[in-house]
């Protein structure tokens, strides 16, 4: 996966927007480690399917977060969404999110707005805004995601395994327990 010029500009703007940190917070935060990561590098993880709800586990890569690079201010990663795959309707109470869909076709829900989009699409979800994405095309969508504050990546880890580990489905009860534990960072819409 190759970042186009537009995606690099978006990433530069995002990182520039998070540069100021109060001296008190700097004193509390561990020192971040600079990183240079190729497209397939980072913490590679595979979603665990939920019994009876999902067929294909999908791959995502956590690139920068408190565990990867030591950022205490943002989360950045990539994910592939297979044809027919989706990001279920949910919201993040305390973090803004930016998605950059590099390619493909998708139906994106943003609050009360639903829109069909194609590759090279940026979507900004302010904290508390309901979001959803459905891959409506015939190819995997490669997307970039950025969160303005850490938290959701721990939910992602709880619902996944490292790439190469055995992928066991989550029971609906296990999924509900994980969602309850991480309710401060993500709330999924009831089916």
Q: Identify the weakest region by mean pLDDT among 25-29, 136-140, 148-152.
A: 25-29
Q: Which alpha helices (DSSP H) does the chain contain, by range?
A: 5-17, 23-28, 152-158, 172-181
Which has more confidence, 80 or 4? 80
Q: What is the chain's mean pLDDT, rounded? A: 86
Beta strand pairing call for 75-81 and 141-147: antiparallel
Query: CA–CA separation, 187 vs 158, rounded Å?
Result: 15
End-to-end CA distance of the chain: 33
Work out the average pLDDT over 159-169: 95
**Per CATH, which fold does 5-19+43-188 belong to?**
Jelly Rolls (2.60.120)
The pLDDT assigned to 56 comes to 63
């Amino acid at each position: 996966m190759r970042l186009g010029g537009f995606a690099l500009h978006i990433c530069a703007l995002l990182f520039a927007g998070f540069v100021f940190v109060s001296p008190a917070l700097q004193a509390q935060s561990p020192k971040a480690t600079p990183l240079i990561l190729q497209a397939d590098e980072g913490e590679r993880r595979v979603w665990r399917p939920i019994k009876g709800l999902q067929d294909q586990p999908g791959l995502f890569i956590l690139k920068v977060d408190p565990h990867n690079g030591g950022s205490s201010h943002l989360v950045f990663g990539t994910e592939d969404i297979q044809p027919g795959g989706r990001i279920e309707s949910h919201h993040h109470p305390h973090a803004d999110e930016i998605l950059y869909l590099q390619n493909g076709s998708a139906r994106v829900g943003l609050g009360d707005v639903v829109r069909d989009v194609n590759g090279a699409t940026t979507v900004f979800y302010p904290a508390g805004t309901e979001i959803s994405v459905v891959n409506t095309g015939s190819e995997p969508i490669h997307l970039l995601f950025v969160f303005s504050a850490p938290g959701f990546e721990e939910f992602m880890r709880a619902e996944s395994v490292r790439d190469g580990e055995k992928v066991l489905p989550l029971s609906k009860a296990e999924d509900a327990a994980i969602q309850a534990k991480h309710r401060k960072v993500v709330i999924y819409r009831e089916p």
